Amino acid sequence: MRLGLQTAGFAHAVILNTGAQTISQSLGKAIAEEMPGIVQKLLTQCGGSFDDINMVRVCVGPGGFTSLRSGLAYGQGLSRALNIPLESTSLFHLVTDNDDQLLGFSQGGKDMIVARPTREGFLEEPHLVVEPPMGVFLINEHPGLSPGAFFDRPCPMLPPKPLYVRPPDATPAARPPWLS
């Protein structure tokens, strides 16, 4: 069985592919808290267990800080605990097999992250833009982003590093004066 953790973009879900069927369940706002229970529920529904999972695929983004970190951490933990491969893909790779196509993803309509995905990674690294460039194809509503299509495209084997829509805005804590 292949386990998919889609915590990028808007359609957060856990996806389980048995080879014969693909089932999924949406995640709510409490992604980190809900994910383990939903994985167990889907495994039980298919008559399987964690021992039956032979691969985990995570979506590295683009997306929000907390949702991406939750999906990546859980996926990496399962991969290590079960000693199975971890695959990493992106929303951009879920919608196209074409190299050199400029794709964009907008979160909340304020700004857009654009990239040129290839089969091996990115021709043009994902980056934030304020104004959409000419010729960009917006992927927000693409059918390839539905949970049922999560395993339809080959995986480019990206590093398991999150692609944030916006960089984290937290600042490191200042060193207390009494430690100096």
- Residue range 76-97, pLDDT digits in tens: 999 999 999 999 999 999 987 6
Question: Residue 10: what pLDDT?
Answer: 83
Q: Report the mean per-residue pLDDT for the chain.
A: 89
Total-model pTM:
0.88
Q: Where are the domains of the chain?
A: 2-91+142-168
Coil, strand or helix: which one is 80?
helix
Chain-centroid distance of CA 105 in Å reads 13
Dihedral of alpha carbons 129, 9, 156, 96, sign: negative
CB of 117 closer than 8 Å to CB of 93 = yes
As a CATH number, domain 2-91+142-168 is 3.30.420.40
